[in-house]
Structure 1
Amino acid sequence: MNKLTWYGHATLGLETGGHQLVIDPFFTGNPAASASAEQVSPDFILVSHGHGDHVGDALAIAQRTGALVISNHEIVTWLGKQGLKKVHGQHLGGGHRHPFGYLKLTLALHGSMLPDGSYGGNPCGFLLTTNDGKKIYTAQDTGLFGDMRLIGEEGLEVAVLPIGDNYTMGPDDALRAVKMLQPKTVLPIHYNTFELLNQDAQAWKKRVEGETGARVVVLKPGESFEF
């Protein structure tokens, strides 16, 4: 059994095969956060890009827990300069078998400057094949792109998509993404953190379920679902 938790904004927790992961650990300063950085103890941390609301508390959590941080080469090099030793760098299209499954970094249309202005490399999403064979795609921050069709060919159990608009896909493009990805279940994220990102997730759920075969799970920050 796999368990996915939405902590608010684009911060996710994943329990799979006895391993604990946190994706884009933005707790401190996150008005939507349902937990503090001190309340999570992951074995692995995934960082999709360099913006402060995604790198977030990665360094502090990794230093406290000894978690391995996985991101692109530029971000793990930057974290190494902050004193972090346990890092693993990958890049777009590249996969690696970790203890929790096979993780591939996917394209994302976004930016990636790090909090201190350093170059953060290319932003990414994550395509994970768990050890029990479930495929999970977390798009993180991205606009719509046509190669989502190729990701959909993988046969997705779960897709996690931003719907907040302005910085990422909005509801219309996220619906188009679902049609290309064809997942069994969809989780909307990156909305209602700030006024600029306000969206009606229940209205989006009705649209998606009315026009696709996907089930939409709308969580409140701190809630989880199992698959």
Structure 2
Amino acid sequence: MNRLTWYGHATLGLETDGHHLVIDPFFEGNPVASTTADQVEADFILVSHGHGDHIGDTVRIAKRTGAVVISNHEIAIWLQKNGLEKVHGQHIGGGYRHTFGYLKLTLALHGSQLPDGSDGGNPCGFLLTANDGKKIYLAQDTGLFGDMKLIGEEGIDVAVLPIGDNYTMGPGDALRAVKMLQPQTVIPIHYNTFDLIKQDASAWAARVETETDSKVAVLKPGEQFNF
């Protein structure tokens, strides 16, 4: 069984095959975070891009836990310069078989400048094929793009999509994304952290379940979804 936890904003935890993954660990300064950087367990940390609300507490957590950090090449190099040794750089379209499964970096339409102004390379999402064969697509921060249809052809069990608008897809484009991805279940993220990205996730879920065959799991920060 795989267990996905939404910690708030775009920060997620994934337990799979005995491994603890944390995705975009933004705890300090996150007004809706359900736990803290000092409490979260992590064997691996996935960082989708360089913005402060996504790279967040990566260095702090990795130093405490010894987690391997997986991101694009530019962020991996930046993390090494900031004191981390256990990093693994990949790039969009490239996959690697980690101990927790086969992880491919996907396209994302966004920015990636790091907090100190350094080049954060290209932003990405993550397509994970877990060791039990389940497939989870973590879109993270992105606008809508047509190649989501190609990602959907993989056969997605769970898709995690932003719905907040302004910085990412809003509810309308996220619905279009679901229609292309055709996941069994979709989970909305990156909304209601701040007023600027306030959305009614329940209303969005009703639209998705009316217009598609996908089910929606609307989580509160700290809640989990098993698959």
Residues in 2 aligned to 1:225 and 1:63: alpha-carbon distance in whole angstroms: 28
**Matching residue of 1:223:** 223
Q: 1:151: Cα distance to partner?
A: 0.1
Query: Hey, what does 1:161 align to over in structure 2?
Result: 161
Partner of 1:176: 176
Q: CA deviation at 1:41?
A: 1.7
Q: TM-score when scaled to structure 1? A: 1.00
Code of the residue aligned with 1:107 in structure 2: it is: L
**TM-score w.r.t. structure 2 length?**
1.00
Partner of 2:68: 68
Mapped to 2, the partners of 1:193 and 1:81 lie a distance apart of 30
Matched, 1:141 2:141: yes
Code of the aligned partner of 1:89: G
User: How does 1:1-227 map onto structure 2 within 5 Å?
Assistant: 1-227=1-227
Runs of 4+ in 1 over 2 A off after TM superposition: none
Partner Cα separation in structure 2 for residue 200 and residue 173 of structure 1:
15
Computed over aligned residues only, the root mean square deviation of the Cα atoms, in angstroms, reads 0.3
Percent of residue pairs identical: 79
**Counterparts of 2:120 and 2:132, CA distance in 1:** 32
Deviation track 1:138-191 (CA, whole Å, cap 9, x = no partner) reads 000000000000000000000000000000000000000000000000000000
Query: Partner amino acid for 1:158?
Result: V
Q: Deviations over 1:73-117 (max 9, x none)?
A: 000100000110000000000000000000000000000000000
Supply the distance in 2 between the matched residues of 1:6 and 1:225 (Cα, whole angstroms): 9
* Residue identity opposite 1:40 in structure 2: V
Letter of the 2:152 partner, please give it.
G
Q: Which amino acid aligns with 1:199?
A: Q
Offset of residue 38 of structure 1: 0.5
The separation in 2 between residues aligned to 1:225 and 1:93, in whole angstroms, is 27
Q: Which consecutive residues of structure 1, in runs of 5 or more, have no partner in the other structure?
A: none
Amino acid at match of 2:114: L
